[in-house]
Structure 1
């Protein structure tokens, strides 16, 4: 059976902890590989590798670091098919979705290619008599990323692309459910010209996470995952003196006003709710039609579109989505479907018990639709993370606005309307971090920034864009004076700029 090892100092590091995890093929339900799970000693080996590489990499000028990013981008594009098939075989996404995962990560790498401009400081000439003041951004040192299973290419690149370009060295702890693509990305980074130790991959579970949190040489941690774990990493990481950005869960709403183009809304909803089997923190699992007529019309149009969805194996080019990542997650999603029916929501389409001929042991969940969902239901309050769409009816604009604003999560939201004034007011007032106007999945482009509010994010800095540059650098400010002639008497007062 294939063994997936750690990747440290530009080569495989054979796991010595004695612990391994199974890596499944979600299409068949079969174990296809075993991944080494790191202990504190192996995390330390990755950190020491990064620490050794840091001084030389930090001293490399930004333009040369950018050239490595350019070369890495080209190598990822050259190996796109290999990476997409590898990703799909462990995650379950269809190939087209896997390529999208990789491409969205590459967009952050493209942003990182312009890092010389992003690292320019500020300069004030003549701040005082003969005194100039300037600032510079410098890397932190060894930083770490802990990434989820649902985007094993995109989210690691979101993190290490900006971190490495700004002069840091990186330790990545990817999900143990689909670990192969992160290792392959690290290999390509070395092939692109990054020195050994600049990007290291250590696999693991909570033991590895706790070792990262506790390690004194790790200066910052970036995390994406569930809210409970995000809060755990944020609170313990900051208690250990680290910078932490920790992105959590979501329950994104799509508000549909009566004037919306329902044909387009239905297409957008089906893709946003069921694409990637709903395993996206920016999926759209709740739709809020405003008014009874809007709700009834939307439901009537949704049902045939849902019934046309093709669920298939990852390599089926005609499939809209594939299996979920694991048997445990399949059972969790199906338990939520049962709970929703028990809570009193109308189960319009039930995806439980879905079987694909020839792949009966695969982790498939059929498309599910609920109507008449209410705020007190657990299935509304909690993140299901599966191919489940809930219709939650609102009487008016204010009621629809309140639903995402008052929810515990505040990652993303969308509004569908032809009314520019209503859309503008909604975008200004809604208590959510990312807003789409007639855009169902409002993930910002790479040179903007990604981050939610409330229990969807912990920390003061968002992912990628200039927020990412700020997170992975510290500002040093220099006040300089070059006096003429002899140095005068010693001054014992704080300097001023009179």
Structure 2
């Protein structure tokens, strides 16, 4: 059984860590690889390699840095199906979901290819007599990213392309649960000819995260994961003077108005709730039908949900794969039990779901609760699984109040044919990303990605112009010539 290695200073090297974790296919239980829990010494080796590479890499003209990304984008396109298959094997999501997962990552590489334009500063002549002022964007040094299990190919590419295109060097810690996509991606990165040390990868767990946050030579950290850990990363980075963007959890509300195109709205809401087995920060979590739309929405939602096909994500007919691990399955099931204890009504029960021929899969069928209140655990905490909760609202005002009462503010959506209602919802709802007749409000690579409240701790959102801001320092030069 292969043991994964770290990628440091242009070479694959064994980790100093001696503890190994199993990487398993969550649909079949097959052991795919073993991943080491690296040590702070491994982190230091990667950071020192990146630090040493920074001066020369910074001096490379932006247009030349961009050419590496052009090569990388083309290489990723050629291997898109291969990476998608790896993602499905290690994560469990369907091939289509994995294919689009990597596709969104590739879009960020493509956008970062425009770094010569994205790095342009500002200039004003004669701000005072004989004095000009200009603003320069400059790289800072070594940046790091700590990424989650739910989008193995995509999320690291929210950060890596912008960091290196801007002239920084980079260290990635992928999720120890799904390290295989990034292993292959870094093998492809190794083919484009980047100087040694510009990009590095360290596998591991908590010790690696803490070492990154505490390392004095790391200038900034990007994190995606639970809000509890995001808050810790934010605090640790603040204590050491680092830049930080820590994207946390979510409890996304989907409001469906009585005037909505009901068939399309409900079908889209079902896809939002159960896509990627609900293991995404933009998944619909709480469905809020407004007024007399409640019964129609609930009945249609149940009807469409019953059409979902649970199975191995590699099978073409599958529309819902397993959750990522047995531990995560147990966590989601505990939330379902908690909902029953709190008095919510289980309309559709996915607890005993099975798939023929795959007894070792981490199966949870689509689950629906109604009678959920905001004070219930299932009404306020992120479940991160294929569980939808229904709440009632008498009007749009109450629906917005329900959404805004959540400690999270990642995304919210409204389905309506009324422009006034859509405009009011967009203006008043406390969420960083808002969908209008869209259930997964995921911005394209050239727009910022991130939430509000407990869904984001840090200086800026991810990718787009916000990513360029995060990875550069604005230097103001005021000059006069005698």
Length-normalised TM-score, structure 1: 0.95
- Deviation digits for residues 262-312 of structure 1, max 9, x if unmatched? 100111011100011000000001110011x31101111122211111011
Q: Aligned to 1:435, what secondary structure does the other structure show?
A: strand
Distance 2:335 2:259 in 1: 33
1:332 is the counterpart of 2:331: yes
Q: Provide the residue aligned with 1:80 in structure 2.
A: 80
Q: Contact 1:29–1:327 (CA<8 Å) still a contact in 2?
A: no
Q: Provide the residue aligned with 1:489 in structure 2.
A: none
Structure 1 residue 187: Cα displacement: 2.2
Q: Provide the residue aligned with 2:238 in structure 1.
A: 238
Q: Aligned to 1:2, what secondary structure does the other structure show?
A: coil
Distance 1:378 1:411 in 2: 18
Structure 1 unaligned runs (5+)?
Answer: 484-498
Q: Provide the residue aligned with 2:396 in structure 1.
A: 397
Structure 2 unaligned runs (5+)?
Answer: none
Structure 1 residue 130: Cα displacement: 2.5
Q: Aligned to 1:220, what secondary structure does the other structure show?
A: strand
Distance 1:348 1:200 in 2: 48
Q: Which has the larger radius of gyration?
A: 1
Q: Contact 1:450–1:464 (CA<8 Å) still a contact in 2?
A: yes
Higher mean C-alpha displacement, 127-136 vs 195-204? 127-136
1:419 is the counterpart of 2:418: yes
- Deviation digits for residues 411-470 of structure 1, max 9, x if unmatched? 000000000011101100111111001111111111110110110000131001111111
Higher mean C-alpha displacement, 68-77 vs 183-192? 183-192
Q: Provide the residue aligned with 2:205 in structure 1.
A: 205
Structure 1 residue 126: Cα displacement: 1.8
1:282 is the counterpart of 2:299: no
Distance 2:478 2:285 in 1: 53
- Deviation digits for residues 109-165 of structure 1, max 9, x if unmatched? 111011110101111112233222111101110000000000111110001111111
- Deviation digits for residues 67-126 of structure 1, max 9, x if unmatched? 111111110110111111111111111111001110111111111011110101111112
Distance 1:5 1:35 in 2: 8
Match runs of 1:116-135 below 5 Å: 116-135=116-135
Q: Contact 2:313–2:319 (CA<8 Å) still a contact in 1?
A: no
Higher mean C-alpha displacement, 125-134 vs 67-76? 125-134
Q: Aligned to 1:308, what secondary structure does the other structure show?
A: coil
Q: Provide the residue aligned with 1:495 in structure 2.
A: none
- Deviation digits for residues 309-345 of structure 1, max 9, x if unmatched? 1011021111112111000001111111111112111
Q: Provide the residue aligned with 2:109 in structure 1.
A: 109
Match runs of 1:47-86 below 5 Å: 47-86=47-86
Q: Provide the residue aligned with 2:340 in structure 1.
A: 341
Match runs of 1:440-479 below 5 Å: 440-479=439-478
Structure 1 residue 251: Cα displacement: 0.4
Distance 2:346 2:238 in 1: 43
Q: Contact 2:243–2:459 (CA<8 Å) still a contact in 1?
A: no
Q: Provide the residue aligned with 1:317 in structure 2.
A: 316
Distance 2:272 2:340 in 1: 23
Q: Provide the residue aligned with 1:492 in structure 2.
A: none
Q: Aligned to 2:126, what secondary structure does the other structure show?
A: strand
Q: Provide the residue aligned with 1:140 in structure 2.
A: 140
Structure 1 residue 21: Cα displacement: 1.4
Distance 2:231 2:461 in 1: 15
Higher mean C-alpha displacement, 351-360 vs 473-482? 473-482
Q: Provide the residue aligned with 2:151 in structure 1.
A: 151
Q: Contact 2:251–2:408 (CA<8 Å) still a contact in 1?
A: yes
Structure 1 residue 193: Cα displacement: 2.6
Q: Aligned to 2:414, what secondary structure does the other structure show?
A: strand
Q: Provide the residue aligned with 2:265 in structure 1.
A: 265
Q: Aligned to 2:263, what secondary structure does the other structure show?
A: helix
Q: Which runs of 4+ in 1 moved over 4 A?
A: none
What is the aligned length? 482
Q: Aligned to 1:422, what secondary structure does the other structure show?
A: helix
Distance 1:273 1:318 in 2: 19
- Deviation digits for residues 209-252 of structure 1, max 9, x if unmatched? 11001100000000000000000000011111100110000000
Distance 2:186 2:322 in 1: 27
Q: Contact 1:10–1:187 (CA<8 Å) still a contact in 2?
A: no
Higher mean C-alpha displacement, 2-11 vs 144-153? 2-11
Q: Contact 2:459–2:470 (CA<8 Å) still a contact in 1?
A: no
Distance 2:394 2:128 in 1: 62
Length-normalised TM-score, structure 2: 0.99
Higher mean C-alpha displacement, 25-34 vs 201-210? 25-34
CA RMSD of aligned residues (A): 1.0
Distance 2:16 2:450 in 1: 37
Q: Provide the residue aligned with 2:190 in structure 1.
A: 190
Q: Provide the residue aligned with 1:493 in structure 2.
A: none
Q: Aligned to 1:375, what secondary structure does the other structure show?
A: coil
Q: Provide the residue aligned with 1:368 in structure 2.
A: 367
Q: Contact 2:254–2:286 (CA<8 Å) still a contact in 1?
A: yes
